[in-house]
Amino acid sequence: MGPFTDARDDNRFEQVFDGEGGSGRVWADYAVRGGARMILHVEADQSLRGSGAAGRFMQAMAEYAREQGLKLFPQCSYAVAWHKRHPDYDDVLA
């Protein structure tokens, strides 16, 4: 698992993972609204689908938001569902 990165110029969080089909990326496109990041879309490379990489990415994103004092506002269905299953990260929600 690679480091979690915030590609601010592209409004995208990214992370590289090793999967059965090789390495791949999980990413989330976001829009900036004040101190919040609206999570518009979360996607994983095909090689990582079903591996749990997207869930680990979401946890890394929530921990990054906590460390940076950011608030997340999930808009995509995957991000909304993940946060509903992980109320221990409610403190990072906008």
Q: Model pTM?
A: 0.92
**pLDDT score of 47:** 86
Chain mean pLDDT for the chain: 94
* CB neighbourhood size of 65 (10 A): 22
**pLDDT score of 34:** 87
Give yes or no for a contact between 80 and 87, defined as CB atoms under 8 angstroms apart.
no
Q: Could you read off the pLDDT of 21-69 as tens digits, one per residue?
A: 678 999 999 999 988 999 999 999 988 888 899 999 999 999 999 999 9
| Separation of CA 46 from chain center | 16
